[in-house]
Amino acid sequence: MRIIPIDDPDDPRIAAYRDIRERDLTGREGLFIAEGEVVLRTLVSGASRCRARSMLLADKRVDALGALIAAAAEGAPVYAASQSVLDAIAGFPLHRGILALGEKAGPVEAATLLAGLGQTAVVAAASGLGNHDNIGGLFRNAAAFGADAVWLDDLCGDPFYRKSIRVSVGAVLRTPIIAPAPLETMIDMLEQAGFEVIALTPSAGEALADLKPGGRRALLLGSEGPGLPEAVIRRCRAVGIRMSGGFDSLNVAATSAIALHQLTTARG
């Protein structure tokens, strides 16, 4: 393997990695920063929809990561730096010692993807999610419970932010993502494709526990606090998670895990 040593934090070859805490590459040339061994392992795997353009590693970790380096696309440079230089490049102590510059896979057009799904498909959809932890958690849960795709509306944050990818433990990189659209457009297209849209809301009269898995379903979640608009809840099948102790809601990540488990149980 060809390892390129980096001794200067200002080396122009690693400019994309500089000060990653203060800025993010999402939205620029379709690039993103991946962090940590678990995420890198997903990025270079056959399941990934994205590809590694380069890697930046702590020199002390290079030998142990030989298999992952070899799995990356041919021609992707691998830079190695001492821990102190790596920390100076990143702009904070990077204890994991592993970064990669990735290229996004393009979003899938809704009509194309929905038409190709089976009769027991599940799509995880969300509106207005801005918190990167919740976005990453949604993708992690979608992958864990076998959702066929994730669809975020045009008010959600970009799932390719570094923190979202990290929280998702790389699920963002392997999950089919439908191109963002306004929420009402999403519901229209889902219904036209034969999906029942299930809106999660604490005010629902129907309990999630009574919902039988099966059919084409889209699970729709809103942001914490405001939740989904009332008009949206009225036009969808409103379902809630029953709680005790005076609580009326869970965070988005926890809600999506419980609901996706319920909707995918029959598929095994």
Tell me if 54 sits within 8 A of 25, measured CB to CB.
no
Q: Do 37 and 154 have their domain in common?
A: no
Q: What is the pTM of this model?
A: 0.92
Contacts 24+ apart (CB under 8 A), 40-44: 40/65, 40/68, 40/98, 40/100, 41/68, 41/170, 42/169, 42/170, 42/171, 42/173, 42/174, 43/100, 43/102, 43/170, 43/173, 44/68, 44/71, 44/72, 44/73
Q: Do 69 and 127 have their domain in common?
A: no
Q: What is the CATH number of the domain that holds 15?
A: 3.30.1330.30
Domain count, the chain: 2
Q: Which of 70, 103, 136 is the last residue of a domain?
A: 103
Residues 6+ apart with CB under 8 A from 266: 120, 212, 213, 214
Q: Do 122 and 244 have their domain in common?
A: yes
Q: What is the CATH number of the domain that holds 153?
A: 3.40.1280.10
pLDDT in tens, the chain (268 residues): 589 999 999 999 999 999 887 677 776 778 999 999 999 999 999 999 999 999 999 999 999 999 989 888 778 999 999 999 999 999 888 888 999 999 998 778 999 999 999 999 999 999 999 999 999 999 999 999 999 999 999 999 999 999 999 999 999 999 999 999 999 999 999 999 999 999 999 888 899 999 888 899 999 999 877 789 999 999 999 998 888 776 667 889 999 999 999 999 855 5
pLDDT value at position 248? Answer: 65
List the domain range (segments joined by +) for residue 247.
Answer: 110-267
Q: Do 221 and 96 have their domain in common?
A: no
Q: Which of 76, 103, 130 is the last residue of a domain?
A: 103
Q: Do 234 and 126 have their domain in common?
A: yes
Q: Three-state DSSP class for 43?
A: helix
Q: What is the pLDDT of residues 8-34, one digit of tens each?
A: 999 999 999 998 876 777 767 789 999
User: Which tokens in the block code for residue 41?
Assistant: 């392992």
Q: Do 116 and 246 have their domain in common?
A: yes
Q: Do 65 and 8 have their domain in common?
A: yes
Q: Do 13 and 63 have their domain in common?
A: yes
Q: Which of 54, 80, 103 is the last residue of a domain?
A: 103
pLDDT value at position 267? Answer: 59
Q: Do 78 and 127 have their domain in common?
A: no
How is the beta sheet containing 51-58 ordered, strand by strand? Answer: 3-5, 78-81, 51-58, 98-103, 31-35
Q: Do 41 and 90 have their domain in common?
A: yes
Q: What is the pLDDT of residues 92-126, one digit of tens each?
A: 888 889 999 999 987 789 999 999 999 999 999 99
AA letter at 130 = G
Q: Do 114 and 50 have their domain in common?
A: no
